[in-house]
Amino acid sequence: MSFTIAIPSKGRLKERSIEIFNEAGFNVELPDNARSYYGQLKNTPGDVEIAFLSASEIARELIAGNIQMGITGEDLARETIADAEAYVEFCVPLQFGHADVVIAVPEAWVDVANVADLDDVAAEFRARHGRRLRIATKYWHLTQNFFANHGITAYRIVESLGATEGAPASGSADIIVDITSTGTTLRANQLKILSDGIILKSQAVLMASKKAEWGENDRVIKQTLCEGIANIL
Amino acid sequence: MVQVATKFADQLHAFFEANDCVNAEIGLLQPADPYLETAGEDFRRLMFLTSDQTSTNLCLRPEFTVPVCLHHLASGQIPVRYGYVGTVFRQREDEPHEFDQAGIEDLGNENRVEADIASLLDAETILRKLGVGDITILLGDQAIFKALLLALGLPKAWQEKLGREFGDTERLNQSLERLSGESSNPYEDLPADLVEHINSDDAQAVAGWVTDKMRASGLPLSAGRTPSAIASRLMDKVELASATLSDENRSALEQFLEIDAPIEDAAKIMGEFEAANNLSFGPSFENLKARFEGIQSSGMENCSVHYQASFGRRLDYYTGQVFEIYASNGKRPLVGGGRYDHLMSILGAESTVPAVGFSIWMDRLEQVVS
C-alpha cells in the first residue's frame, strides 16, 4: 500500500497546506488535470500520494485508517470520534485555521455569564417551559462531552444544518455551540461567548492515523514530514 | 410478541401473575424523544438510534420504565402494577449491547411508604426465587437531602443547585467549596444603565432593558426565556453574589453526606445528626423511618441493608427512595430501583402520579447464579 497524505481540497486550508509543504522543501506536484483529486509529494524518502479531500472526510479517513496522514482541523477529528487520541496522533499543530468551538448565548441573557449560570438556567428551564433547553450545533460529541464534564444534564441538542448562529432568533434553539475564529458572526447575531465557554481551541494539525498500516519506510516518511514541517514553523 | 431470551422468563411471569402485576407488552422499537426529554443527552450515548421516513427519532428499547409509563398514561391511569421481561439494547463498554431486563413498575399507588417497601421486597424475593445467594442492599433517599437544604435555610438558588448535584458527591463537594469561598463580582460585563436599574431595585426597568435587547436581536419574546425571567434571575444573582456558605452549614452538609450505616442504626444516627445541628428534617424523615422499620420487620435473610446518605441519582424525576441490590462482592448492581414521582408529569400526566419500580439486569443475574 502506498503512503497517502490527505489535504483539504479547497479554500485557504488547501492553499496554506500546499505552501507549508513547499516551504519545508517537500514540493507539491499538483495534478495536470484540475479535476483530479490526486497529486504527488516530492523529496520524501518514498512515494507519497496526496489525496485532496474535504476536511471532514480527512478526519473520517484518518480514523478509519484508510490514509496514513492528513491535514485537517482538530475540531473535526475530535467531533468525529469521542476518544480521538486512540485513533489519531496529533503530530504538528500548523498555526493556521485557528477557530474555537464555543458556547454562545443571546446577549440579552444578561444573567448568564458563565457555564455555572447556564447550568442553573437549563435546570429551571423545563419547570418553566415544559421542555428542555435546546442547543443548536453541528458538534454533537464535543457538546455532549463538555456538558457531561461540567455536570450539566438538562438540555437537548437540535441538529443544525445551516447557519447555527441564526437558531436563537429563528426560535429553533435557545443557545448554540459553534465554531468561531474572530467572533464577528456571533456579535452580528448578538450572541456572546460564555467566559468559560470555550470547548476547544482548534487549528489545522498534521495528523497521523493510528489505525492505518505502518510499514518501516512509512514511519521514516512520517518522521521526515513531521520534522521538516515542525522546523519551518 | 417479542421473543424473550432469558431462561427465567416463565418464573418471572409466574411471579407477576401471583402478585397481580399486569403484563406490559412494550415494542422493541420506541420513540426516542421521551427518553431524551426525561433522561437527557447523556442517555443518547447509550441508545441505539434510528429514524423513520418522516425523520421521527426512534430507538431500540433501552429500558422499560418510560414506555410502561407512556402506556399507563394512554390507558386510563387507575393504580396498577406492571410486570415486564424482555430484551433491551444499550451501548455498554464491557458488557453485551443486547441483554434482558425484568422488573415491576407500580403506578398510581398513593400509599407511598407501603409501595416503596413492597417494591424493594419484590425485587429481593425475585432474586431469591431465581437462585441468588447472599445480597447487599444499598439504600438512599432523594427527598431527605432536599429537606436538609431547606432546614438549613439556604437561599433557594443554592438549594436548587445543590439539590441537582445530589448523587454526585465529588461535584457537590466542589460546589460547597465554591459557595464557601470569595464572592464574585456580579456586575462584571454589565452595561452601566442596566447596573443602575439593578441598584435602584427596579425589576420592571431591568425587564424593560432585556425586552429592548431581545427585540434588537430579533429574539422571540415568548418562545424561550422571557425578559421577566431573565431580569428576576439577574437580580437574584446580584443579591446572592455577596453571600457565602457559613462554616456551620457547610460542616452540617458534609457530615450528612458521610452518613453510611446499617439500616438498624441509620435512624438513630440521623436523629443524632438532627440534634447535634439543631435542625429537623421534617416529614421526609418520618417517611424514611417508616420505610426502615418496614424493611427491617420483613424478615429478609442473608442480606445486609445499608443506608448511605450520599447515594442518589442525578435524574430529576427521582423523588424518594432509591436502591440497588448487589450480590455479595459484586461490583455491578443486579437491581436498580426507586421512586420517580415526577416522571409521569414530565411525560404528560396532568397531575403527579406516584410511581415506584425496579429493574433487574438479567445478564448480570445469570452470571451470578450460573
What element of type H or E holds B193? helix B192-199
What SS3 class is residue B144? helix
Confidence of residue B221 (pLDDT cuts 50, 70, 90): confident
pLDDT of residue B242: 82
B149 touching chain A per CB within 8 A:
no
Min Cα distance A79 → chain B (Å) is 14
Whether B118 and B11 map to the same domain: the answer is yes
Smallest Cα–Cα separation from A201: which of A114, A112, A106, A102? Answer: A102
Residue from A103, A107, A110 whose CB has the most chain B CBs within 10 Å, to mutate: A110
Confidence of residue B265 (pLDDT cuts 50, 70, 90): very high
Separation of alpha carbons B152 and A94, rounded Å: 54
Size of interface A-B (CB pairs under 8 A): 95
pLDDT of residue A162: 82
Q: Phi then psi for A203, rounded to 5 degrees?
A: -155, 175
Question: Parallel, antiparallel, or unpaired for β B135-141 and B321-327?
Answer: antiparallel
Kindly determine whether residue B314 and residue A153, on different chains, have CB atoms separated by under 8 Å.
yes
Nearest to A108 among B41, B188, B230 (CB): B230
Can you give the length of chain A in residues? Answer: 233
Question: With contacts defined as CB-CB under 8 Å, which chain B residues touch A113?
Answer: 188-189
pLDDT of residue A33: 72
Complex ipTM: 0.84
pLDDT of residue B3: 54
The residues pairing with B356 across neighbouring beta strands, listed in sequence order, are B106, B339
Range of weakest confidence among A109-113, B6-10, B94-98, B140-144: B6-10
Whether B128 and B197 map to the same domain: the answer is no
Question: Is residue B148 assigned to a domain?
Answer: yes
Q: What is the mean pLDDT of residues B249-253?
A: 96
Kindly determine whether residue A108 and residue B213, on different chains, have CB atoms separated by under 8 Å.
yes
B196 touching chain A per CB within 8 A:
no
Q: Nine-digit cell at A30?
A: 499538483
Whether B208 and B308 map to the same domain: the answer is no
Residue found by looking up cell 435546570 in the block: A123
The stretches of chain A forming alpha helices (DSSP H) are 11-23, 55-64, 74-80, 115-129, 140-149, 167-170, 184-188, 216-232
Separation of alpha carbons B269 and B284, rounded Å: 15
pLDDT score of B340 more than 80: yes
Question: Is residue B185 assigned to a domain?
Answer: no
Separation of alpha carbons B303 and B324, rounded Å: 13
pLDDT of residue B1: 45
pLDDT of residue B91: 95
Which one is the CATH code of A3-97+203-232: 3.40.50.620, 3.40.190.10, 3.30.70.120, 3.40.50.300? 3.40.190.10
Q: What is the mean pLDDT of residues B161-169?
A: 93
pLDDT of residue B153: 94
Whether B84 and B141 map to the same domain: the answer is no
pLDDT in tens, B122-147: 999 999 999 999 999 999 999 999 99
pLDDT of residue B75: 87
Q: Kindly report the CA angle at B77 between B74 and B82, in degrees rounded to 5?
A: 90
* CA atoms lying within 13 Å on the CB side of residue B320: 27
pLDDT score of B76 more than 80: no
Question: With contacts defined as CB-CB under 8 Å, which chain B residues touch A151?
Answer: 165, 168, 171, 314
Kindly determine whether residue B217 and residue A126, on different chains, have CB atoms separated by under 8 Å.
no
B45 touching chain A per CB within 8 A:
yes
pLDDT of residue A215: 93
Measured in whole angstroms, the distance separating CA B134 from the mean position of its chain's CA atoms is 27
Q: Phi then psi for A30, rounded to 5 degrees?
A: -80, 155
What element of type H or E holds A164? none
Kindly determine whether residue A111 and residue B234, on different chains, have CB atoms separated by under 8 Å.
yes
In words, the CATH class of domain A99-202 is alpha beta
Separation of alpha carbons B344 and B93, rounded Å: 30
pLDDT in tens, B177-192: 989 987 777 787 889 9
Whether B53 and B126 map to the same domain: the answer is yes
pLDDT of residue A161: 80
Q: Nine-digit cell at B320?
A: 424518594
Whether B89 and B198 map to the same domain: the answer is no
As annotated, the residues of chain A forming the CATH 3.40.190.10 domain(s) are 3-97+203-232, 99-202
Confidence of residue B5 (pLDDT cuts 50, 70, 90): low
Question: With contacts defined as CB-CB under 8 Å, which chain A residues touch B55?
Answer: none
In terms of residue numbers, what domain contains B212? 192-240
pLDDT in tens, B311-339: 999 888 999 999 999 998 889 999 999 99
Min Cα distance B333 → chain A (Å) is 23
Residue found by looking up cell 435473610 in the block: B301
Question: Is residue B259 assigned to a domain?
Answer: yes
Whether B271 and B146 map to the same domain: the answer is yes
pLDDT < 50 positions in chain A: none
Question: Is residue B354 assigned to a domain?
Answer: yes
pLDDT in tens, B282-314: 999 999 999 999 999 998 888 999 999 999 998
Whether B142 and B109 map to the same domain: the answer is no
What percent of chain B clears pLDDT 90, i.e. is strictly above it?
Answer: 82
Min Cα distance A27 → chain B (Å) is 44
Query: What residue of B is the nearest CA neighbor of A187?
Result: B217
pLDDT of residue B240: 87
pLDDT of residue B4: 54
